[in-house]
Amino acid sequence: MLLLALVLFSNIFNKTLRLLFIEIKNNGSFIVRYSCYTNEPTKIKTNTKYYKMKKILIAGLLFFSMGLISCANSTESKNENKNESTEQGTIEGKPVQLTYNSFIENVWDFNKNPNEFVFKGSKPAIIDFYADWCGPCKRIAPILEKIAADNKDDLIVYKVNVDEQKELSKVFNIRNIPVVVFIPLKGEPMQQIGALSEQEYNDLVKEKLLNTETK
């Protein structure tokens, strides 16, 4: 036996709510009940009608409708979580994952300026080109996370998965990883190929991005 409840109508002015209850029985019959709830909870009007129909047809229609709703909610939820994680990473000083669209919006619109690097950020940036299978990439990831946290007011750290964002890898001519790109507010980006130590990365940040002397 399957019982499904659907909201048919809701009026915000008189607070009338109609609910549809569909009960499918094992013998192939189903019962449709609908209830009207007014702004006074005690006033409930209920009607029951009985219909005979093949269970497979009704069940198919119901599951198809439920599937459409589920897919729409899932897509919306993913988009909201994606935006939330990007904003949270920026605020809390954590590396931010870049996609094609976010790169165009926040770093460089190479479609509009294909022959000149025009940085769109408001503070210096680091881009970590990595892959999940790359051992050296995993070793430097905590270092870059620490740099992002220690310098959250002065720079932002981005991450680009080369397997998922192949077009962004082509823009920077990435052939070997890890590659860490240092982007100052003014001037051209500088690429560092291969894994370095924490001290070496900190020295590059001070020299290339923060314009301070290294020890």
> Catalytic residues, which ones?
134, 137
Q: Which helix (H) or strand (E) holds 45?
A: strand 44-52
Q: What angle do CA 141, 163, 143 make, to 5 degrees?
A: 5
As to burial, measured by CB atoms within 10 angstroms (0-12 exposed, 13-18 middle, 19+ buried), residue 50 is exposed
Cβ-Cβ contacts under 8 Å for 146 (sequence gap 6 or more) = 198
- State the Rg of the chain over Cα: 28
Both tokens of 101, joined, read: 């669209």
8 A C-beta contact, residue 104 and residue 98: no
Judged by DSSP in three states, 160 sits in strand
Both tokens of 214, joined, read: 């290294």
Cis peptide bond prior to 124, omega within 30° of 0: no
